[in-house]
Structure 1
Amino acid sequence: MTQPSPVRVLAVSSGKGGVGKTNVAVNLGIGLTELGRRVAILDADMGLANIDVLLGLQPKYNLSHVLKGERTLAEIVLEGPSGLRIVPAASGIQRMSELPVAEQAGLIRAFSEIGADLDVLIVDTAAGISSGVVNFVRACQDIIVVVCDEPTSLTDAYAFIKLMNRDHGIHRFHILTNMVQDAKQGQALFDKLVRVTDQYLDVTLDLLGAIPRDDLLRKAVQRQQPVSLLFPQSKAAEAFRAAARQTDRLPYPGGSNGGLEFFVERLIDYRGPAHA
């Protein structure tokens, strides 16, 4: 039996909401498709799924229909712009470890089916540090933390990194600064975060990119289109493409860490504390 080619599984997360995380996931995904990668986004924000809204899509089915055996994963996937594929969220599946064994096996099989036709899976998580968010993030091979130039964004990003490091043994995080004035401010924001993590945590951070504040991005959101496609010459679109190139250069996972089966098995194996 041939070994499936590894799929890069990226979490896009943040300590708090309102930092443009879903915009990052979508435009980063488009940037990777422009590099020839086959990309899908799993909308893992179970309470406030909004990728479909951002792209003007209307899903009929979602992951809950796959778990019930009513639809295959291929049947629920939405075709987004530029070849991007969207896996719609479903409420109530945060606690993967509580799924019946048959549904666990079905989920692994479902993701295995699309794995042969995929290079990158981007997992757009909810904001915050609930057990559902932690579950998805710890199952991914690479973690992108989106921060903006607000004190609460930095403190919440630090709290998120601290939790993932101390409780789950994750030591590397990729930082994407968003809604900054320019690359210089993005670097300063990154340096500020590094000073704190270097002092208190055993982690390595690297700067994936800096996305400037751009009125054209707001216009693109209003029109339910990605800025990378609607305004490809905009500052934000160019920054997203640069971040996609950086992401594409990250080393691919090897051995047991490769493939979507690993991602889904990690989801199911989670035994973290339940949060009220």
Structure 2
Amino acid sequence: MTNNTIRDQASGLRHLARPLSTKVIAVTGGKGGVGKSNITLGLAICMARQGKKVMVFDADLGLANIDVMLGIRPKLNLGHVLIGKCTLKDAVIEGPYGIKIIPATSGTRSMTELSHTQHVGLIRAFSTLEEEIEILLIDTAAGISDMVISFSRAAQNVLVVVCDEPTSITDAYALIKLLSREHQVQRFKVVANMLRSYREGRELFSKLTLVTQRFLNVSLDFVACIPLDDKVRQSVKKQKIVVDAFPRSPAALAITALANKILSWPTPDVPNGHLEFFIERLLNKSGFFRRIIR
């Protein structure tokens, strides 16, 4: 084998081993009804419009609603993947503007109580994806279940969505407390949703900051205030997302600004989070090739 051939092969292996520039963002909040899914899909559409390759993972495994919100009826979902009926690639569907969607199941209690073997199966399923994704948005379930914690730990950025209700603030604090004290997640991006003014959004953020600074060693960053907007409700009835149905509405403009802000965030050079290997194929095509070319 000639030196030129060896160099060509090494160059090819380095290309395969090159990490993909994938931002992994978990959109969570602790409480249901705070608008996580609307924000997730709005961000996805805004980014896809800019030519980004975006995937949305519906991680509310027992009460899926991403597909419902878009008026899509997938033939296959994660439930079929876990029972071996199809691969994860088979379950991926396409949404508006070319966004890729991994749909979950709805009304299936067993999906919220996965065994260790099923967790491993789900993790392995992600390793089979060959999509080159620039943004992976994880729409988590409500609450602080093991799955919510796992996906939040796996993300490079955690967006915590809160609204101006005592239960929303309390549940957001509980989620931040659990992730910081037991899983060493220290940085959180806060989105105030359904507020009447930016000033109210800042006040809400101050309430959350006051309690976290007193009891936790975490960093909170106020990244967006999305106004209360009747166009959001109208969009839901049409099974469309407000950034698509009413792009000039106040809520749509705020979500668009947040999407632009997220795109400006740097992508970490190395995976972050204890369980981020579950999207290993998205972040790093093959550690094996990296080892053999060192």
Scaled by the length of structure 2, the TM-score of the pair is 0.82
TM-superposed CA distance for 1:189, in Å, is 1.0
Q: Deviations over 1:94-151 (max 9, x none)?
A: 567712698367414323x12xx21011111100111221122111111000000111
What SS is found at the alignment partner of 2:159? strand
Correspondences of 1:201-240 after superposition (within 5 Å): 201-240=216-255
| Corresponding residue to 2:68 among 48, 53, 64 | 53
Runs of 4+ in 1 over 6 A off after TM superposition: none
* 2:29 alignment partner in structure 1: 14
Correspondences of 1:1-276 after superposition (within 5 Å): 1=13, 2=16, 3-90=18-105, 91=108, 92-93=110-111, 98-99=116-117, 103=121, 106-111=124-129, 113-114=130-131, 117-257=132-272, 262-264=277-279
Q: Is the 8 A contact 1:39 1:121 kept in 2?
A: yes
**Cα pair distance change 1:195/1:55, threshold 3 Å:** same
Question: Aligned Cα RMSD in Å?
Answer: 2.2
**Cα pair distance change 1:108/1:97, threshold 3 Å:** farther
**Cα pair distance change 1:68/1:184, threshold 3 Å:** same
Residue identity opposite 2:127 in structure 1: R
Structure 2: runs of 5+ lacking an equivalent: 1-12, 281-294
Give distance in 2, aligned partners of 1:39 and 1:27: 12
Give distance in 2, aligned partners of 1:263 and 1:244: 24
Give distance in 1, aligned partners of 2:239 and 2:270: 39
Give distance in 2, aligned partners of 1:173 and 1:7: 18
**Cα pair distance change 1:69/1:148, threshold 3 Å:** same
Residue identity opposite 2:240 in structure 1: Q
What SS is found at the alignment partner of 2:182? helix
Residue identity opposite 1:86 in structure 2: I
**Cα pair distance change 1:100/1:16, threshold 3 Å:** closer
Q: Is the 8 A contact 1:68 1:103 kept in 2?
A: no
After alignment, is 205-214 or 75-84 more displaced? Answer: 75-84
**Cα pair distance change 1:67/1:198, threshold 3 Å:** same
* 1:274 alignment partner in structure 2: none
TM-superposed CA distance for 1:210, in Å, is 0.8
Give distance in 2, aligned partners of 1:101 and 1:196: 34
What SS is found at the alignment partner of 2:52? coil
Q: Is the 8 A contact 2:24 2:156 kept in 1?
A: yes
Question: Whose Rg is larger?
Answer: 2
Q: Deviations over 1:228-257 (max 9, x none)?
A: 011011001000001111111222121244
Residue identity opposite 2:153 in structure 1: R
Q: Is the 8 A contact 1:181 1:213 kept in 2?
A: yes
| Percent sequence identity over aligned pairs | 46
Scaled by the length of structure 1, the TM-score of the pair is 0.87
